[in-house]
Amino acid sequence: MQVEISIKVNGQTVKTHVAEVAGTLEEMEEVTHALGKKVACDALQATVDVHAPQRPLFRKQAGICVTRAINAAVSSASTGR
């Protein structure tokens, strides 16, 4: 038996899985369970990829709680003003 599962996000097909399932009921259950796990992971990743803008892998770290007031206080303390 051929099983086909399509994943659509906003009406657009982003992933299609096709698998042959054969054997005893127990074997077919195991195959469909494994396919279900794979489809769930792929569906989650596909929705993240569609909705989330691509970000660079490495970014410069921003200072913690960087505000103008904190920067002014730090710079005046370091210059002794």
- Full pLDDT tens readout for the chain, 81 residues: 888 888 887 888 878 888 888 899 999 888 888 888 888 888 788 777 777 676 666 656 555 555 565 566 666 665 655
Domain containing 45 equals 2-79
Q: Name the pTM for this structure.
A: 0.47
* The two three-digit tokens of residue 66, written as one number: 């960087």
Residues 6 or more apart whose Cβ sits within 8 Å of residue 60? none
Residue type, 20: E
User: Given this model, what pLDDT does residue 62 score?
Assistant: 57
CA distance 79 to 81: 6
Amino acid at 48: V
Domain count, the chain: 1
pLDDT for 79: 60
Q: Residue 21: which residues within 8 A CB-CB, separation 6 or more?
A: 1, 2, 3, 28, 31, 32
